[in-house]
Structure 1
Amino acid sequence: MEQGGRDVLASSFGAAAADYAAHRPDYAPAAVSWALAGAPGPRVLDLGAGTGKLAGNLVAMGVDVVAVEPDSAMLVELRRGLPGIRALPGSAEGIPLPDGSVDAVLAGNALHWFDMDVASAEIARVLAPGGVFAGLWNVMDDSVEWVAGLARVAGSAAIGVRDTVSSWRGATAALHLPGAGGLGRFGSAEQAEFAHGQRRTAESLVATLSTRAGVLVMPTQEREALLGRARAFLTSVPATAGGEFTLPLMTGVLRTRRL
């Protein structure tokens, strides 16, 4: 995707910040632990922190977390939900922290929005030597029949190439991490996946889909038609029609290390 189109999508979340906070899942604790494994200390930057979904995991782990987020509406929700953490305006391309000030940089469902030609140098700058840099994504497990059916009905705007287990590996890969060739600052990337889940109803899962960037930028009539199709599908499938169910997820992680 061209940078201009990526910027439009990336800037769409603020208009739905409260819905994002209400409906997006947190991350599998085992995935967050794996992402941080080997970090030289407890100082963690949550970069592109959104409304604090990943920061909440980090707070629960007892690490020293600072969150950086470019969208003011998302920051409002983050500060409301996690009033005790340090939350700063900033971006991956302009991190408002001193050199070598953190031991790990994590990005939850955000790394694909970064301009890595610029961000890799900034991330390397704020990381201590040996520090960890990792991206985490929550992806739907489309090996489950009804999830695959929902993906077909909702289409790529609602469930894109990084949103299902079957596609996220190839779509994400080292493409978004500054590996051995990334200005010589990082080692090679590692990838792992961890089982996760989120309790949903048909209506709350439709609300979750409504926070996807591709859906947020749609014309109103087109967006409502898409969400209507998803709602009709979910209320027709026995696994999802009868009240609460668990949305099967995996938290996928890509991890590399500052040399």
Structure 2
Amino acid sequence: MTFTHALTDSERQLHRSSFGTAAGAYAEHRPDYAPEAVRWALAGAPGRRVLDLGAGTGKLTGTLLSLGEELDGLDITAVEPDPAMLAELRRGLPSVRAFQGSAETIPLPDGSVDAVVSGNAMHWFDMAAAGPEIARVLAPGGVLAGLWNVFDDGTDWVAGLARVTGPAAIGPRDVPAAWRIETAELHLPRTGADSPFHAPEQAEFPHGHRRTAESLVATLGTKAGVLVMPEQERADLLARARAHLAGHPATAEGEFTLPLLTSVLRVRRRP
């Protein structure tokens, strides 16, 4: 059950609704997004109105805020379905307009935003319903961009961590090669001549997340595949991760940088 398309409907719903049980840990331990990736995602948008859709606890929203002045001011709105995740976003980013809603039912008027972005969430959307909704709220010429932070398994200890934890913690979608193959086909609205959207573009940007062994284990514990595990199975997986990190010189003591790529898919709404 590595990719979301391999899950049954009930399993998929269980996975995507699991994050609220760990909202505080998610806010504390998940990474933000590479600023250059966010700049690329928004390039060519016809205006400054940006919707962070499936905003979670505000990891991408926070990066948007930090870039707002540089990008001539951004008018940011966040939409998140889970009440616990939304509460964390409102607590951490009280200046942001934040609404409860989903990609399938966006609580905004037609043509009200110039860009829709989504951080590590678009693979949970029911795109048959979400695609038309996103097209509805986007202004003509607007951009839709999904951003994913993926583990850079070109680093030896990261590849080893993926082996000992298995797909629930670091699955193929979480590493670059499989991300490139899978995401554009699976996690974007339909494109083509009869679609509201032009063909997709992809890009990747280096990123990093300062961690200790224990805080990286806590990060893995916020993955949906880990959150839905039986308690003992989850404890065993995290113990294997902890042992691997303790046994590698680069991660055994103190802080280190978890190498990431912020990977982006972008499509443009037709005028």
1:10 matches 2:16: yes
CA RMSD of aligned residues (A): 1.0
Please state if 1:191 is matched with 2:202. Answer: yes
Q: Do the aligned residues in 2 keep the contact of 1:179 with 1:256 (CA within 8 Å)? A: no
Aligned to 1:252: 263
- Where 2:173 maps in the other structure, the secondary structure is coil
Structure 1 stretches of 4+ with a deviation exceeding 3 A read: none
Match 1:163 to one of 156, 174, 178 = 174
- Equivalent residue for 2:38? 32
Normalising by structure 2, what TM-score? 0.94
CA-CA distance at 1:71 after TM superposition: 0.1
Out of 141-150 and 176-185, give the one that drifted further: 176-185
Note the 1:73-222 alignment, pairs <5 A.
73-181=84-192, 184-222=195-233
Q: Secondary structure at the match of 1:239?
A: coil
Alignment partners' CA distance in 2, 1:180 and 1:237: 45
Alpha-carbon distance in structure 2 between the residues aligned to 1:6 and 1:190:
26
Shift of residue 3, structure 1, vs aligned partner: 2.9
Q: Distance in 2 between matches of 1:69 and 1:229?
A: 33
Is 2:78 the counterpart of 1:56? no
Structure 1 residue identity aligned to 2:65: V
Number of aligned residues: 259
Aligned residue identity for 1:57 = T
Give me the whole-angstrom Cα distance separating, in 1, the residues matched to 2:98 and 2:170.
Answer: 29
Residues 185-225 of structure 1: per-residue CA shift (max 9 Å, x gap): 10000000000000000000000000000000000000000
Question: Which string of whole-angstrom CA distances, capped at 9 and with x for unpartnered residues, describes residues 74-107 of structure 1?
Answer: 0010001100000000000000000000000001
Shift of 1:179: 4.1
Aligned to 2:26: 20
- SS of equivalent to 2:55: coil
Q: Cα offset for 1:13?
A: 0.1
Unaligned ranges ≥5, structure 2 = 69-73
Q: Deviations over 1:23-43 (max 9, x none)?
A: 000000000000000000000
1:168 aligned counterpart, secondary structure:
helix
Deviation at 1:252, TM superposition (A): 0.1
User: Shift of the alpha carbon at 1:4?
Assistant: 2.5
Q: Is the Cα contact below 8 Å between 2:52 and 2:79 reproduced in 1?
A: yes
Q: Per-residue displacement from partner, 1:25-68 (whole Å, max 9, x unpaired)?
A: 00000000000000000000000000000000111121111000
Gaps of 5+ in 1: none
Cα distance between partner residues in 2 of 1:238 and 1:183: 54
**1:27 corresponds to which letter in structure 2?**
Y
* C-alpha separation in 1, matches of 2:90 and 2:122: 21
Q: How far apart in 1 are the matches of 2:202 and 2:178?
A: 14
- Could you tell me the percent identity over the aligned residues? 69
Q: Amino acid of the residue matched to residue 10 of structure 2? A: G
Cα distance in structure 2, aligned partners of 1:175 and 1:192: 16
Q: Helix, strand or coil for the counterpart of 2:172?
A: coil
Q: Residue 142 of structure 1 contacts residue 166 of structure 1 at CA under 8 Å; is this kept in 2?
A: no
For 2:171 and 2:17, locate their aligned partners in 1 and report how far apart those are by CA, in whole Å: 17
CA contact (8 A) 2:148 2:263 kept: yes
Shift of 1:165: 1.6
TM-score by length of 1: 0.98
